[in-house]
Amino acid sequence: MLGFAYLLALLVSLTGMVVLDRRFCLFFWRAPRAAAVVLAAGVVFFLAWDLVGIFAGIFYRGETAFMTGLQVAPELPVEEIFFLTFLCYLFMNALQGARVLLERRRAA
């Protein structure tokens, strides 16, 4: 149960991103195809960054009971993919949210 804590937290957070996206038409609900490409490209970019960092021995998987222990590559827990997806989704939602705010300010 505890091993899924981090994954669960990430999934809950991702769900939050999807709900916000849907409610305010931010990312996938604005341009689904472009959003899919941006998200995939972002995750691949950050995964590459992670892998090079792991290969160089800069950072590694921590000792914790909060992760499932499943790894997609040495020292790269499966949770990291969800984390990077969340990071990119969060940023794109925040970006469109900020844009709407700025446009509203300009219009006012």
Contacts of residue 63, Cβ cutoff 8 Å, sequence gap at least 6? none
11 and 68 in contact (C-beta within 8 Å)?
no
Distance CA 51, CA 75 (A): 9
What is the smallest separation between the CB atom of 59 and other proteins, expressed in angstroms?
Answer: 5
Does 3 bind other proteins (CB under 8 A)? Our answer is: no
Place of tokens 């921590």: 62
Token digits of residue 35: 């959003």
Q: How many residues bind other proteins (CB under 8 A)?
A: 46
The contact mask relative to other proteins for 40-59 (x = CB under 8 A, - = no) is -xx--xx-xx--xx--xxxx
Residues that bind other proteins (CB under 8 A): 1-2, 5-6, 8, 25, 30-31, 33-35, 37-38, 41-42, 45-46, 48-49, 52-53, 56-64, 66-67, 79, 87-88, 90-92, 94-99, 101-102
